[in-house]
Chains A and B, each alone.
Chain A
Amino acid sequence: MTDEKTIAGNDPLDALTAPVAAEEQKPKKQKKMRKMTLGSVIGLIFTYLFLIIVALIVVTPIIYIVLMAFNAQKSMYLPTIFPTKYSVDAFVRLFEDTDFLIWYGNTLLIGAMNAVACLILVLPTSYALSRLRFKGRKNYLMIFLVLQMFPGTMVIIADYVLLNMLNLLDSYFGLVIVYSCTAVPGSTFMMKGYFDTIPREIEEAAMLDGASRFQCIMRIMVPLAKPMVGLIALFGFTTPFGDYMLSSILLSDPDKFTLAIGIYHSIFSQKAADYAMFAAASLLSALPIIIIYMSLQKIIINGLGGATK
Chain B
Amino acid sequence: MTRWFTRLKFRMENDGISPERRKRGALMGLASGCLVGLGYILQKSFVKGFAYMAIEVAYILFMVFWGANAINGLITLGSVPLRDHSLMLMVYGFIAVIVTGGFLCFWGAQIMGTYKEYIKKSNEHYEPKTRKEEFRIWLHEHTAIFFMLPGLVAISMGILLPLIFSISIGFTNYDANHQPPGHILEWVGFRNFKDLLAIGSAAKTFFMVLGWTIVWTVCASVLPYALGIILAVLLNNPKVKCKKIFKLIYILPWAIPAYISLLVLQSMFDTGYGLINQLFALINIPKVPWLTNTNTARLALILISVWTGFSFPMMLSENIIKNISKDIVEAATLDGASPTRIFISITLPLLFFSISPLFIMNFAGAFNNFNLIYLVTEGGPGGVLSGYTLGAGTTDILISWLYKLTTDQMKYNYGAALSLILFILIAAFSIFNLRRTRAFKEEDTMQ
Chain B binds chain A: yes
Query: Could you tell me the distance in whole angstroms from the C-beta of B441 to the nearest C-beta in chain A?
Result: 12
Chain A residue nearest to B431 (CB atoms) is A146
Contacts of A108 in B (CB 8 A): none
Decide: A305 near B406, CB < 8 A? Known: A59-B249, A124-B151, A132-B144.
no
A168 on the B face (CB < 8 A): no
Q: A50 near B255 (CB under 8 angstroms)?
A: no
What is the bound-complex CA distance between A241 and B256, given in angstroms? 10
SS class, residues of chain A in contact with chain B: helix
Residue A181 at the chain B interface, CB threshold 8 Å: yes
Contact B263 A121 (CB under 8 A): no
Contact between chains at A294 and B426 (CB < 8 Å): no
CB distance from B106 to the nearest CB of A (A): 15
B69 at the A interface (CB under 8 A):
no
Q: How far is the CB of A265 from chain B (nearest CB, A)?
A: 12
Q: Does B272 reach chain A (CB closer than 8 Å)?
A: yes
B165, B240, B267, B415 pick with most chain A CB within 10 angstroms: B267
Query: Are B162 and A155 within 8 A (Cβ)?
Result: yes
Q: Which residues of A sit under 8 angstroms from B389, Cβ to Cβ?
A: none
Question: B419 contacts A154, CB within 8 Å?
Answer: yes
Among B87, B150, B248, B406, max chain A CB count under 10 A is at B150
Point out the residue from B144, B159, B319 that lies within 8 Å of A301, measured CB to CB: B319
Is B358 close to A, CB under 8 A?
yes
Which residues from chain A contact B165 at a C-beta distance below 8 Å? 155, 158, 161-162
Q: Across the interface, name the chain B residue whose C-beta is closest to A281.
A: B260
Q: How far does the alpha carbon of A227 sit from the alpha carbon of B73 in the complex, in Å?
A: 49
Residue from the list A124, A156, A180, A268 in contact with B263, Cβ < 8 A: A268
Q: Does B252 contact A (CB under 8 A)?
A: yes
> Assuming the A-B contacts A51-B231, A58-B249, A125-B152, are A156 and B406 also in contact, with contact meaning beta carbons closer than 8 angstroms in the complex?
yes
Within 8 A of B (CB), among A280-309: 282, 285-286, 289-290, 293-294, 297, 301-302, 304-305, 308-309
A157 touches B255 (CB 8 A): no
| B123 interfacial by beta-carbon distance below 8 Å | no
Is the pair B155, A184 in contact by a Cβ cutoff of 8 Å? yes
Pick from A20-28, A92-100, A136-144, A198-206 the stretch touching chain B: A136-144
Within the assembled complex, what's the spacing in Å between the Cα atoms of A161 and B406?
Answer: 12
The 8 Å CB contact of B251, one of A158, A264, A279, A297, is A297
- How many angstroms from the CA of A65 to the CA of B278 in the assembled complex? 15
Surface stretch bound by A, among B54-62, B288-296, B367-375:
B367-375
Mark B365-403 against chain A: 1 for CB-CB distance below 8 A, else 0.
000101100110000000000000000000000010011
| Assembly CA distance A50 to B233 (angstroms) | 12
**For A213, what are the chain B residues with a Cβ–Cβ distance below 8 Å?**
143, 147
- Asked whether A238 is an interface residue with its Cβ less than 8 Å from the other chain, the reply is yes
Q: B258-292: which residues lie under 8 A (CB-CB) from chain A?
A: 258-261, 263-265, 267-268, 270, 272-273, 275, 278-279, 282
Assembled-state Cα–Cα distance A76/B169 (Å): 44
A185 near B315 with CB under 8 A, answer no
CB-CB contacts of B156-186 with A at 8 A, as 1s and 0s?
Answer: 0111011101100100000000000000000
Leading 4 A-B pairs by shortest Cβ distance: A181-B158, A125-B151, A128-B147, A158-B162
Chain A residues near B (Cβ < 8 Å):
40, 44, 47-48, 50-51, 54-55, 57-62, 64-65, 76-78, 81, 120-122, 124-129, 132-134, 137-138, 140-151, 153-159, 161-162, 165, 177-178, 180-182, 184-185, 188, 193, 213, 238, 241-245, 249, 260, 263-264, 268, 275, 278-279, 282, 285-286, 289-290, 293-294, 297, 301-302, 304-305, 308-309
